[in-house]
């Protein structure tokens, strides 16, 4: 769950809740270290991989919530016949009771996840609970299930380096709206803009003038993907030219092969070289996912974006 900290912060203010997380994973495992889920007496938010492992963790978390003397528990699980799973790996899990005063560190973690800001989360294990500190990004030993589990008086550091992809989306029409909905739960930081006053009240959309939109397209982080799907081909061209001239590493344009050919010819006439033009992806979306419905296009584009994570 990408926004586990935000979900946990809300849950601990509503009532009893536990946070279950993977401290370390070796071999084949459903999810890796730093994966977390929230467990309440009546529900769950997120997943640590499903299957019998998750069911066991949910039961353990609810037992912990029923015992006022219990604050946290660290347990190793081999993913073999005893759990009815054949992954073959091993995971070390932490279950901790959340309290109202956990809201501060959870809120800070949520902010850093949202802003893709690396950090180190230090957990100090005590008899009466776990103290959490959000620290600057630093090298820490890779997590492993080998060795002793952390106990009272000991600390455990997690290095969080959010692997989110920055996306600047122009266009709040049918396809843009479908794409924004599709991207919402994914590891994407979305900035969404439109120039039409009728979309000013749409949640998540910031209204800008056409001139402001062109400036935005040309300025910003080079590794931020620019997606262009406005209502106006002339505006599409201005945004495309600005984004390519500004050095954006990927510029995605909705359209057809004909639109691509026309834009490329005009961009060359306007002085853009082959290296810049090579960063234009048009039509956007995985070509092996056919369909013209907005929701289908959104899935095809989202799949293509996920392939860009990590610099691919």
Stretch 90-117: mean pLDDT, rounded?
A: 93
Burial label, 278 (beta-carbon count in 10 A; 0-12, 13-18, 19+): exposed
**What does the alpha-carbon distance between residue 129 and residue 163 come to, in Å, rounded to a whole number?**
30
Stretch 73-90: mean pLDDT, rounded?
A: 75
pLDDT for 310: 55
Stretch 203-220: mean pLDDT, rounded?
A: 95
Question: Is a pLDDT exceeding 60 seen at residue 84?
Answer: no
pLDDT for 116: 83
Stretch 224-241: mean pLDDT, rounded?
A: 96
- Cβ neighbors of 53 (< 8 A, separation 6 or more) are 30, 77, 79, 83, 85, 91
Q: What confidence category does residue 153 fall into, taking pLDDT thresholds of 50, 70 and 90?
A: very high
Q: What is the DSSP letter of 309?
A: G
Q: What is the pLDDT of residues 215-229, one digit of tens each?
A: 999 998 888 999 999
Per-domain residue ranges of the chain: 4-160, 165-311
**What does the alpha-carbon distance between residue 192 and residue 125 come to, in Å, rounded to a whole number?**
42
Answer whether 41's CB lies under 8 Å from 65's CB: yes
Question: Is a pLDDT exceeding 80 seen at residue 44?
Answer: yes
**What does the alpha-carbon distance between residue 269 and residue 259 come to, in Å, rounded to a whole number?**
16
Q: What is the pLDDT of residues 1-13, one digit of tens each?
A: 568 999 999 998 8
* Least confident residue range of 81-85, 208-212, 221-225: 81-85
Q: What confidence category does residue 311 fall into, taking pLDDT thresholds of 50, 70 and 90?
A: low
Q: Which fold has domain 165-311?
A: Rossmann fold (3.40.50)
Question: Is a pLDDT exceeding 60 seen at residue 81?
Answer: no
Q: What is the pLDDT of residues 11-41, one digit of tens each?
A: 988 889 999 999 999 988 888 999 999 999 9
- Cβ neighbors of 33 (< 8 A, separation 6 or more) are 22, 23, 24, 25, 143, 158
Answer whether 25's CB lies under 8 Å from 91's CB: yes
């Amino acid at each position: 769950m990408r926004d586990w900290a935000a979900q946990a912060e809300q849950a601990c203010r509503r009532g009893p809740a536990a946070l279950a997380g993977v401290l370390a994973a070796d071999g084949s495992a459903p999810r890796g270290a730093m994966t977390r889920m929230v467990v309440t007496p009546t529900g769950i938010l997120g997943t640590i991989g499903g299957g019998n492992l998750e069911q066991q963790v949910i039961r353990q978390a609810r037992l912990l919530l029923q015992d006022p003397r219990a604050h946290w528990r660290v347990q190793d699980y081999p993913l073999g016949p005893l759990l009815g799973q054949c992954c073959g790996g091993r995971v070390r899990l932490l279950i901790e009771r959340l309290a109202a005063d956990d809201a501060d560190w959870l809120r800070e973690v949520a902010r850093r996840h949202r802003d893709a800001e690396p950090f180190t989360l230090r957990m100090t294990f005590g008899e009466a609970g776990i103290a959490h500190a959000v620290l600057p990004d630093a090298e820490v030993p890779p997590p492993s299930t080998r060795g002793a589990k952390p106990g009272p008086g000991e600390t455990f550091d997690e290095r969080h380096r959010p692997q989110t992809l920055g996306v600047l989306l122009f266009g709040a029409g049918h396809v843009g709206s479908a794409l924004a909905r599709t991207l919402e739960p994914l590891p994407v930081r979305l900035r969404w803009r439109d120039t039409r006053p009728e979309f000013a009240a749409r949640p998540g959309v910031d209204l800008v003038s056409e001139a402001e939109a062109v400036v935005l397209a040309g300025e910003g982080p080079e590794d931020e993907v620019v997606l262009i799907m406005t209502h106006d081909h002339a505006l599409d061209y201005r945004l495309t030219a600005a984004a390519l001239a500004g050095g954006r590493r990927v510029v995605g344009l909705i359209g057809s092969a004909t639109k691509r050919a026309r834009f490329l010819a005009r961009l060359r006439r306007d002085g853009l070289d082959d290296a810049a033009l090579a960063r234009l992806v048009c039509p956007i979306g995985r070509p092996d996912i056919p369909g013209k419905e907005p929701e289908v296009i959104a899935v095809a584009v989202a799949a293509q974006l996920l392939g860009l994570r990590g610099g691919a």
